Amino acid sequence: MPHPHSDEDIRMTNRRDFLAAAVATPLAGGAESAAEPAAPPPSRILREALPLNLETPLPRLGATTATADHFVRSHFPAPSVDPATWRLRVEGAVQKPLELTLADLAKLPTSTRRITLECAGNSRVYLTPKVRGVNWSHGAVSTAEWSGVALGAVLDLAIPTGNAVEVVLEGADSGVVLDEPRSPGPISYARSIPLAKARRPECLLASRMNSEPLSVQHGAPLRALVGGWYGMASVKWLTRIIVVDRPFDGFWQTMDYSQFDRVAGVPTLAPITAMRVKSVITSPVDGQRWSDGVIRGVAWAGEHAVAHVDVSLDGGANWIRATLAGPSRPLEWVEWSASVKPPRGAIRLMARAVDAAGQSQPLTRDPDRRTYQINHVIPVDVVVE
Ligand SMILES: Nc1nc2c(c(=O)[nH]1)N[C@H]1C(S)=C(S)[C@@H](COP(=O)(O)O)O[C@H]1N2
Ligand SMILES: [Mo]
């Protein structure tokens, strides 16, 4: 069976990626009609062109995010991968090391899952004082339908040995990290997850997104999807799976994407894992004149469902229960709304979600989380006429 990506597809997608990035800047408006007459106009906010970092605008948070609206987070320029010569190697603590082609993977059963990905640095612009790193507003989060084979099915073919504890996922992209602490020369993007998580059904090796072949910016021809975890674990441009018999200490889970855990009060660095419960108010927006009394937003809680969302009109003194748009499920966000009768004048709106495990969004920032996992309540100030 021919693979959906020809070389031409990859080049085309690269060109589209470039144009999407270009038209996302206000100065370059007007280019979209010439490039892609049928596609909806690109809406994303350009945070960085090389490597490509694009943010989903607030009004597009909710429901399934169209691929043209889905945020993009890349640490290095997208690698050029030829699907014809591409291989996925599975090695390390396994009985049968493997080298799989896309045709080999296509023979395995596939499934489709709706998964919310949030970058661990989402909402970073709201940290005070200002910190280093991409200054995302609330839009480094999106929800897509991802299709592919279960990571567990591929591990079953390779047969991890009895002492295996983690699975390292490595991408084809690499480069030098220039911020301090610098990397020791070029390093590839790699991240590990526990073997038990890797065998769960929400861990996919995805080749399709929203019923279309994966685009280059989202990791073509194959990426990992680690449902319920912050986006850093969902390695794009996947080329190698290494089963390991001791915890992996790579750059992207020690220097980067780590938090301080306390062991008897002593801070110790630990990799960031599952997404924490969070809600975002999508309407009204900060600084807006507001009249209809309807507050809307989205909420998600990683491996848990959202139990409920409360809103406050008085800076957190009193809370009113919001209505979820449908049943909340683990791994994906849920839309919510509340109709309230606000007093006139300047008021401070807040939303706070609680997950099915009883965890509540904090009201203040925990510095042990460094510059990641920003899920404390961030108020929205509006004027009611
Ligand atoms: N190979 C590779 N995979 C990667 C990254 C990367 O830079 N290189 N970025 C990670 C991060 S930090 C996030 S948040 C998600 C974003 O996925 P998306 O670009 O499809 O939205 O990809 C993850 N996978
Ligand atoms: Mo991320």
Residues 1-14, mean pLDDT to the nearest whole number:
31
- pLDDT confidence tier of residue 34, bands split at 50, 70 and 90: very low
49 CA from centroid of ligand 2 (Å)? 16
Q: How confident is the prediction for the chain on average, in pLDDT?
A: 90
Residues 6+ apart with CB under 8 A from 129: none
Closest listed residue to residue 297, CA positions, set 60, 66, 45: 60
- Secondary structure of residue 56 in the 3-state scheme: coil
pLDDT reported for residue 11: 29
Ligand 1: which of 69, 74, 115, 238 to mutate, judged by most atoms within 8 Å of the beta carbon?
A: 74
- Do 384 and 291 form a contact (C-beta atoms < 8 A)? yes
264 CA from centroid of ligand 2 (Å)? 29
**b/e per residue, 173-186, with b = 16+ CB within 10 A?**
bbbebeeeeeeeee
Nearest CA to ligand 1 atom 24: 235
pLDDT reported for residue 180: 84
- pLDDT confidence tier of residue 385, bands split at 50, 70 and 90: confident
Nearest CA to ligand 1 atom 5: 74
Give the model confidence (pLDDT) of 164-193 as tens digits.
999 999 999 999 998 888 888 999 999 999
First to last CA, the chain: 62
Q: Is residue 358 left, alpha or beta, with left meaning phi > 0 and alpha meaning psi from -120 to 50?
A: left
Question: What tokens does 154 get?
Answer: 């591929």
- pLDDT confidence tier of residue 20, bands split at 50, 70 and 90: very low
- Do 243 and 39 form a contact (C-beta atoms < 8 A)? no
Nearest atom (ligand 1) to Cα of 119: 14
CA distance 58 to 263: 38
314 CA from centroid of ligand 2 (Å)? 33
Give the model confidence (pLDDT) of 287-315 as tens digits.
999 999 999 999 999 999 999 999 999 98
CA distance 223 to 227: 12
Residues 349-371, mean pLDDT to the nearest whole number:
96
Give the model confidence (pLDDT) of 223-238 as tens digits.
999 999 999 999 999 9
Residues 6+ apart with CB under 8 A from 192: 166, 167, 168, 169, 244, 247, 248, 250, 253, 271
In this model, does residue 332 exceed pLDDT 60? Answer: yes
The answer, yes or no, to whether any atom of ligand 1 lies below 6 A from the CB of 190, is no
In this model, does residue 9 exceed pLDDT 60? Answer: no
- Do 381 and 346 form a contact (C-beta atoms < 8 A)? yes
The answer, yes or no, to whether any atom of ligand 1 lies below 6 A from the CB of 236, is yes
CA distance 252 to 337: 37
Give the model confidence (pLDDT) of 131-174 as tens digits.
988 999 999 999 999 999 999 999 999 999 999 999 999 999 99
94 CA from centroid of ligand 2 (Å)? 29
CB-side exposure of 383: number of CA atoms within 13 Å?
A: 4
pLDDT reported for residue 179: 84
Residue type, 89: R
Nearest CA to ligand 1 atom 11: 232
- pLDDT confidence tier of residue 1, bands split at 50, 70 and 90: very low
Nearest CA to ligand 1 atom 12: 232
pLDDT reported for residue 178: 87
In this model, does residue 37 exceed pLDDT 80? Answer: no
Nearest CA to ligand 1 atom 19: 72
Give the model confidence (pLDDT) of 55-67 as tens digits.
999 999 999 999 9
DSSP string, 149-210: EEHHHHHHHH-B-TT--EEEEEEEEEE---SSSPPSS-EEEEEEEEHHHHTSTTEEEEEEET
Nearest CA to ligand 1 atom 20: 218
Q: Which of the pair, 24 or 251, is modelled with greater confidence?
A: 251
Residue where the block lists tokens 């999508």 = 282
pLDDT reported for residue 42: 66
